[in-house]
Structure 1
């Protein structure tokens, strides 16, 4: 038993050191705490004990191995080396299976080879008798853990020096900025926007203390152009990418501007189409794809989040964000923190107790096609204007679909609330400009559609837009039309950088005295075959569908809707209002033509980006 304890101690220490060094090298020291280290160390020691005991039982069946492991010294040598190498191989396989960022694998491979080589070399040379086992086990465990601590302190010093050096050029009005993009989140499904179910009590609190834009629109119906619009204040026609999911280097991002003004810029995102693969996080110092691009927590923590909690980001991302904000504050820096949360994106996970809370009006026994609805919730399946998919749907069927989606919002809101509480206890909340918005919305059966395809009705365009900074923003509701392109100029103006706003920015400063009450809004889905466009002007909305592929599924080239009398967009009046349709169409064409930027060369998507598009249901 004593031999097993010392063997497990050394194997567990080696695996802990390997994984923590790998995380530090690829992500930095920001959220790795002593408590997390102790948890990981103890869990890996216990796991090593269980695993090595099982291996011994297996080896005892084989006669040559049975004689070998009967010797305590041989047993200690063999199983320590075997356990360290086997656990490293298992960790490497798990990383390769989970991540799609190939270069980072080699950091892990190199660290694992170095640690395992050190242990093997010392085992074979120094462990000569059973009496040396305790001393060797303890000394080697301490050695590998001290190496890990040295790496941590070096990383902490390196990043701390970078943050402190950056902060010397800080001249802004606001110490920190936190931009939270709630992927695929409809504004009309948040309680603060009048939704009758309790989906967002924590977002509601933020909204009550700041600015809530009642009629906010996204620039597009999917993730890349939505995020690019937020970061650059420009419409998709200006992105110079022919609608491809890629942000060209010559587009000036908010992160690039704030980095030059003394902010340390950190991006933590869960949707891979909001990160480095599509160049949206250009200008960020810390660029972390929480589940697909970066190994941010030890394996046990990752498996617990994914398998037990079925977390898709919020449970992990918000604590990382809080630790990062506290770390930057301790170093005397200023932080621009970008968070992308992906919970409401299909597939929808039924989150309890939130599903029960938001479905109190739902009688599941009255759903005639429950299995069909549950199947639609469980898969990333786009349905585009297809009435055949909804022939058996009752009102309760639609309500179940909504409740599943709502439970994801409520789950995300719960973890956002814990983040907010942590920021408040740390004294950071009122020193941080908080902006909450979304890249686009989601169809939940309206117009026989599910997901966020290229049909620019309001369910996929109307998003939340909330800003909180008590020192400069009084609680208010903005009823005029706003867009998420307004985030860029509004934030820079608040922070004292109005002179840095590029001339091509189409967004407006929402807080300025001359913000127009009769604003016109543009939304676009650019494709190689022109695309789909929406113009909102006063009480009317014009949708122009110029995409041949979309026309095969959605056979309308022009739609005119009076939003005042038809908020659900059910009645097309363009034939009754030909002059208005022509005028708005001409305005839209002139606007798009005046801002349109064509790419200098054809954009080639990486294999990782294509795989991500397929995983999220954008391509078949």
Structure 2
């Protein structure tokens, strides 16, 4: 969390909703839904016209939509670790998808609910969130079972489809006899490769990524419809988020993870209150202030009337009650470039300004340049002089408490040899010593294309792309 002097006073206010003094709903069920790789501006509640996401539309119409929500890291395992703990990646220690496990010292949202008597269950669609990665902490039931037949051949990812997740979730709901419950449901389909089943394959032939999101939306709808029919939904707090977005070739990136531009950082965040506290004023409301996935845990716990442990996020309940509140400036990172021996990136966002710490630093005015196409960086720019020291101080502060014990030994050795680890922590001040990922976009694009071909089973095409990148 940013310390004294780095808070930005902004109004997190609800448009067209007025205020409510009775939003808390202690003792209700909680359903937390995560759509992996879901870019906010590719869903209809966030203004995308070339997709049909009826379930998301209904949730937004009946709930509260956070218009400017962001992830602290554009990678699945670190982002979910932040979602589960309310901590920045530097604090919970999961810095990328391949090399880290969530440390048992971390206190997760599921563990808090479990200790307060809730039945807890989680259903995940990727091995990146398996129990081997530390993600099962606090869950009475944790379904990370994958069909062994899917491991045949060399493919970039193994996943469970939205239909499989939906069926397993409903089966658990049918068998569960403990209330209240905390239920986490994860969907992975929008991740590469984009290959939605029929009829979405045909309906979104020219935009398969959108087809995957629409496919997930349908199966979320099946879960909510079943809960409605059984009388469970009315007593359930529903929270839907994305873990990160997708570049879709913006900034010379096909997928995500390498850069910190908003196309991979801006995520959906919709909250639907239980019927007992959901009012007309809080149905179809929109929060315009900037928020983060770190805020999900403290917000849910305050709504449920449960004390929240120390976190880097803040509860958004005050703004739901019509109050103005202080907002932390947002910090983000990506360590993914280190896989290629390129420099990691760090950013600080104080709207409308965003500064990215890199060998070739970047500064953007998001109000005038939302696509982040015009780099305004100059050494003597007043926003650079303000934001760069703030970011560097924050990196140092967060690294003091990182749980690097969760890192694989071979990865630690690599980081030490590169000078990125000193005294047990990652040193963000050394970003200049490795190449800037922006200077390697041709190689990165070839690798992304190769991985996409692998996902489609095109081994010859993937080999050709890898050889070009070599």
TM-score range, shorter chain: 0.7 to 0.9
Aligned equivalents of 1:601, 1:327: Cα separation in 2: 38
Alpha carbons of 1:260 and 1:578: their partners in 2 closer, same or farther (altered >3 Å)? Answer: same
Q: 1:418 pairs with 222, 229, 234, which one?
A: 222
Aligned equivalents of 1:437, 1:452: Cα separation in 2: 17
1:346 aligns with 2:153: no
| Aligned residue-pair number | 371
User: 1:93 is matched with which residue?
Assistant: none
1:578 aligns with 2:431: no
User: 1:313 is matched with which residue?
Assistant: 161
Aligned equivalents of 1:485, 1:557: Cα separation in 2: 28
**Which has the larger Rg?**
1
Aligned equivalents of 2:223, 2:51: Cα separation in 1: 19
User: 1:406 is matched with which residue?
Assistant: 210
Alpha carbons of 1:445 and 1:241: their partners in 2 closer, same or farther (altered >3 Å)? Answer: closer
User: 1:155 is matched with which residue?
Assistant: none
1:53-98: per-residue Cα shift (whole Å, max 9, x none)?
xxxxxxxxxxxxxxxxxxxxxxxxxxxxxxxxxxxxxxxxxxxxxx
1:457-495: per-residue Cα shift (whole Å, max 9, x none)?
111111000111143352210100011111100000000
**Aligned-pair CA distance for 1:222:** 0.4
Alpha carbons of 1:409 and 1:601: their partners in 2 closer, same or farther (altered >3 Å)? Answer: closer
Higher helix share: 1
User: 2:303 is matched with which residue?
Assistant: 494
1:569 aligns with 2:372: yes
4+ residue segments displaced more than 6 Å? 527-530, 614-618
User: 2:315 is matched with which residue?
Assistant: 509
Higher strand share: 2
1:458 aligns with 2:262: yes
Q: Extract unaligned runs of 5+ from structure 1.
A: 1-171, 294-298, 303-309, 360-399, 546-555, 607-613
Question: SS at the partner of 2:344?
Answer: strand
Aligned equivalents of 1:199, 1:217: Cα separation in 2: 23
Q: Extract unaligned runs of 5+ from structure 2.
A: 1-24, 151-157, 411-449, 456-465
Question: SS at the partner of 2:257?
Answer: coil
Question: SS at the partner of 1:444?
Answer: coil
8 A Cα contact 1:267 1:288, kept in partner: yes
8 A Cα contact 2:34 2:243, kept in partner: yes
**Aligned-pair CA distance for 1:443:** 1.2
User: 2:362 is matched with which residue?
Assistant: 559
1:344-393: per-residue Cα shift (whole Å, max 9, x none)?
0001104433344456xxxxxxxxxxxxxxxxxxxxxxxxxxxxxxxxxx
Q: Which moved more, 1:571-580 or 1:243-252?
A: 571-580
Q: Name which structure has the greater RCO, CA cutoff 8 Å, separation 6+.
A: 2
8 A Cα contact 1:480 1:519, kept in partner: no
8 A Cα contact 2:77 2:94, kept in partner: no
8 A Cα contact 2:100 2:408, kept in partner: no
8 A Cα contact 1:203 1:413, kept in partner: yes
Aligned equivalents of 2:127, 2:95: Cα separation in 1: 20
1:479 aligns with 2:288: yes
Question: SS at the partner of 2:309?
Answer: coil
Alpha carbons of 1:602 and 1:354: their partners in 2 closer, same or farther (altered >3 Å)? Answer: closer
8 A Cα contact 1:480 1:517, kept in partner: no
Aligned equivalents of 1:226, 1:583: Cα separation in 2: 27
1:189 aligns with 2:42: yes
Alpha carbons of 1:579 and 1:196: their partners in 2 closer, same or farther (altered >3 Å)? Answer: same
